[in-house]
Amino acid sequence: MDEKMKQLTEIFQDVFDNEGITLTADTKIKEIKGWDSFIHISLMAAVQDEFGVAYNIEEIMKLKTVGELIASIEGKQ
């Protein structure tokens, strides 16, 4: 969990181009400053690349928090 949180933080910092971003399991992805649907696409693509997982449309629509994201990655690996 901690390791994944670290990797995710790095991805989020890159994509948002903001080194100040810190994540917790409760962080709502859409509420991060600067979020828009294009950033969301980049995030999901980066997550799929980084962890070697694939999501279908329904799964992507359902993911709301960082905690859910980590759980979904762990479920797939």
Partner 1 sequence: MECFAYPLDTKMLLRKKKSIKKELLNNEKQWICKKIAVLGGSTTNEVVDQLEIALLNHGIKAEFYQSEYGLYWEDAMFGNEQLDAFGPDIIYIHTNWRNITAFPEIHDTEDEVMQKLQEQYERFGSMWKKLEEKFRCPIIQNNFDRPNYRLLGNRDIWDYRGRSNFISRLNQKFYQYAQKNKSFYINDIDYLAQDYGLSEWGAVIYWNMYKYACCLNAIPYLAGSVANIIKSIFGKNKKLLALDLDNTLWGGVIGDDGPEGIKVGPDMIEGQPYYEFQQYSKNLQKIGVVLAVASKNDQENALEGLRHPDGVLKEEDFVSIKANWEPKNQNLKEIAEELSVGTDSFVFVDDNPVEQDIVRTQLPEAAVPKVESVENFIEVLDHSGYFEVTSLSTEDLGKTAQYQARAKAQSLQASFENYEDYLLSLEMKAEITGFEPMYVQRITQLTNKSNQFNLTTLRCSEDEITKMQESPNYICLCGRLIDKFSDNGIVTVVAGEIQGDELNIKLWLMSCRVLKRELEEVMMNELMKKAAEQKLSYVNGVYIPTAKNHMVEKFYGDMGFELCSSDENGETHWKMKVDEYQHKKSAVSV
User: Does 64 interact with partner 1 (rule: CB under 8 A)?
Assistant: no
User: Does 14 interact with partner 1 (rule: CB under 8 A)?
Assistant: yes
Segment near partner 1 (CB under 8 A); pick from 1-9, 21-29, 36-44, 63-71: 36-44
User: Does 25 interact with partner 1 (rule: CB under 8 A)?
Assistant: no
- Tokens representing 18 are 């903001």
Query: How far is 15 from 73, CA to CA, in rounded Å?
Result: 19
Query: How far is 5 from 69, CA to CA, in rounded Å?
Result: 10
33 versus 57: smaller Cβ distance to partner 1: 57
- DSSP letter at 28 equals B
